[in-house]
Structures are given as structure tokens and as C-alpha cells.
Structure 1
Amino acid sequence: MVKPLMLLPPMLFAGLAVAFWLGMQREDPDALPSARAGEIAPGVALEPLDGSTFETADLREGGVKLVNFWASWCAPCRAEHPNLEQLAGEGVPIYGINYKDDPENAVSFLKELGNPFVAMGADPSGRTALDWGLYGVPETYVLDREGRVVLRFAGPITDRVMDSRIRPAIAEARD
């Protein structure tokens, strides 16, 4: 005769297996929800970084642009940097927001790796990041010509991400 408690472990295992399977069925497991998608980009309140800064109006006018939150202490930011340089070389304007970083370290980071930003500013308190709904660095937003958020991508921009997410979002923003 089987004791009811002996059935508990296999039933728990089966329940967990079903839960994991259902979780894997999501359309894009890497995507994080964004309350900002389709909305005009929030304002920015930045301090100058190496003599450079930009204003909210810069993000709400002109053509397609990227806004990239980064920090010198962030290893994934270092990993994504060559791809930002590549996008900048292709003529994509990228605005950089240095997040909770020492200004000297941030400037050294850019001197070492190159500066892909048309303009940049510092967010030492993290207030602007909160307004944008930042999860962490690096995080990149694709904005259309009116400053509307087309895509929010949390994490480093890899070659795969450039081809599957960033470039299609840039194309969508241009339409």
C-alpha cells in the first residue's frame, strides 16, 4: 500500500516541471516589460560630464536616436561598447547617461574605449534613471523622431541583439 506522503515528492516535481515549461513558452524570455513603450521619453535632469550634457528637448526633436544608460564600473557596459561604437559609426545618434558613477572614472572609460555619444550627461543621484524606469545598466532606449520610446532593451547590446532587436527597432522608428 502506498502512503500518501510518498506521493508528495513526485507531485511537487511534476508541478514544478509544468511551471517551468509554461514559463519557457513566453514569446521573448529576455524581454522585460516597459511602461514607457509608445510614450514620449521622460525628461532628463543631468549634470555635465566632461563638458557635455543634453536636454529633454534634444530627445524629442530630430530623427531616430538611442539613449544608453551606462557606467564605468559596469562590466556588461564594457562588453557592449564596441557595438555602440559601430552604431555611432553608422550615423545613429546615441545619447549617453552615465549612471551613479565617479565622473573621473567615466571620462577615463571613454578615453580608453572611445566615445560613441553625440552628447552625454551624468545622473549621479539616479533620479533620471528612476523616471525612465531603469532596471540596471546597461540599458538602451530607441526613440523615434518625436522622442517616443519604440524599444527599451535591458542588458548589453550584443551582435545578436543588434540584429534581432536594435536594428529592427531603428527601422520601425524611421517609418
Structure 2
Amino acid sequence: MSRLTLFAPLIIFLVLAAFFWRGLSLDPTAMPSALIDKPMPAFSLPTVGDADRVIVGEDLKGEVTLLNVWATWCISCRVEHPYLVKLANQGIKIVGVNYKDDVPAAQKWLKEFSNPYVYSIVDADGRLGIDLGVFGAPETYVLDQQGVIRYKHVGVVDDKVWSERIKPIVDALKEG
């Protein structure tokens, strides 16, 4: 029994080293979502541009859509915004979710920096964000034609992220 206690620190060290080695091999930017391959959560919210226009989850069906969570208080959103405008100009359908933000500030932002969104949903209290599992802004979801979430990206969408991660998914969904 005393020989086993001599090797106990070595065994503990090897077990911990295996856990650390596994942790180092994980992608720190990967943020799995429980909603992948599940329908968009139900909601009914106004838009930034027109408080009388109410959007419901069913409105996101019909074509492949990028759902972009953004806010005027988000510095990374300002970095991402010109690229979203570029994508929208290329015919990519983008719907915004203005997350926990001031509507007049959001309206000013879209007027000043151009509006890449077909419409932007007002999520003033963050309830839709909670249902989506939003960690913070910006986040972008890829929805298929049936409104099912197929991919989630946390962080800025730029040329590299678009071409390597999101565009292949969008293209595959459009092909059927």
C-alpha cells in the first residue's frame, strides 16, 4: 500500500496534464449553441425603422438569412458594420437584432453608417437575445429557408470569417 502512495502524486500529475493538454487543443473562439439545427425561437418585436411594424419568427422563413446581433454601444459592431454593408450590396439577406440598445441611437447609426439590414428587430430588454443564447454583440446566425438555425458565429464577421466559415454554409443551404 505504501508503494501506491509513492506513485499517487505522479498519477495525479499525469491525469491533470492530460486535462490541460486536451484544453489546449480546443478552439477558444468556438461557442457552441444549443439551438443549432433548431427553429428560430418564437418572438414578436417591432423594428428599428418603424415601431408599428412588428416582426415575428415566421417572417424569417423563405430564404437563407444572416441574423446579426448588433448595438450602437458595441465597438466591435462598428468594425463589422462596413463589411455587412458590403455583403448586403452583394445580395446577402441580413436581418438585424438591435440588442439592448436605444432606438433613436440605432436609427441615427443606420442613417449615418448605411443600413445593411432588410429590417432590424428591436430587442430592448434582451429577451430574444436570451432565447438565442447571445453572449454579447456582435453575433451572427445563419438561418435556412425554414427558419432553422444552422450556424452561429460569435465576434466580428470579416472577409476571412465570411469566406472560410459562413459563405460555404450559406452556399450549401442555397443549393438545397
TM-score bin, normalised by smaller chain: 0.7 to 0.9
Q: Do structure 1's residue 121 and structure 2's residue 124 form an aligned pair?
A: no
One-letter code of the match for 1:105?
A: A
Deviations 1:64-112 (A, max 9, x none): 1111110001000011111111111111111111011111111111112
Give the match's secondary structure for 1:54: strand
Distance 2:165 2:108 in 1: 29
Provide the residue aligned with 1:58 in structure 2.
59
Structure 2 partner of 1:3:
none
1:128 partner amino acid: L
The structural deviation recorded for 1:141 is 0.5
Structure 2 residue matching 1:122: 3-state secondary structure: strand
Aligned to 2:99: 99
Which ranges in structure 2 are unaligned for 5 or more consecutive residues? Answer: 1-8
Corresponding residue for 2:147? 147
If the length of structure 2 is used for normalisation, what is the TM-score? Answer: 0.83
Percent identical residues = 40
Shift of 1:58: 1.2
Aligned AA (2:30): A
Q: What whole-Å deviation, never above 9, does each CA across 1:10-37 have from its counterpart, x for those lacking one?
A: x98x9877654322312x4311111011
Indicate conservation of the 8 Å contact 2:46/2:55, yes or no: no
For the 8 Å contact 2:66–2:141, the answer to whether it is kept is yes
Query: Alpha-carbon deviation of 1:50?
Result: 2.2
Match of 1:44 in 2: 43
Label 1:171 to 1:130 Cα distance change in 2 as closer, same or farther (>3 A): same
- Alignment TM-score, normalising by the size of structure 1: 0.84
Moved over 6 A (4+): 14-17
How far apart are the structure 1 equivalents of 2:108 and 2:33?
A: 32
Query: Match for 2:155: what amino acid?
Result: G
Residues paired across the two proteins, number? 163
Whether the 8 Å CA contact 1:64–1:170 is kept in 2: the answer is: yes
| Structure 1 unaligned blocks of 5 or more | 1-7
Q: Against the structure 1 CA distance between its residues 109 and 15, is the aligned structure 2 distance closer, same or farther, given a 3 Å change threshold?
A: farther
CA RMSD, 1 decimal = 2.0
Contact 2:70–2:137 (CA<8 Å) still a contact in 1? yes
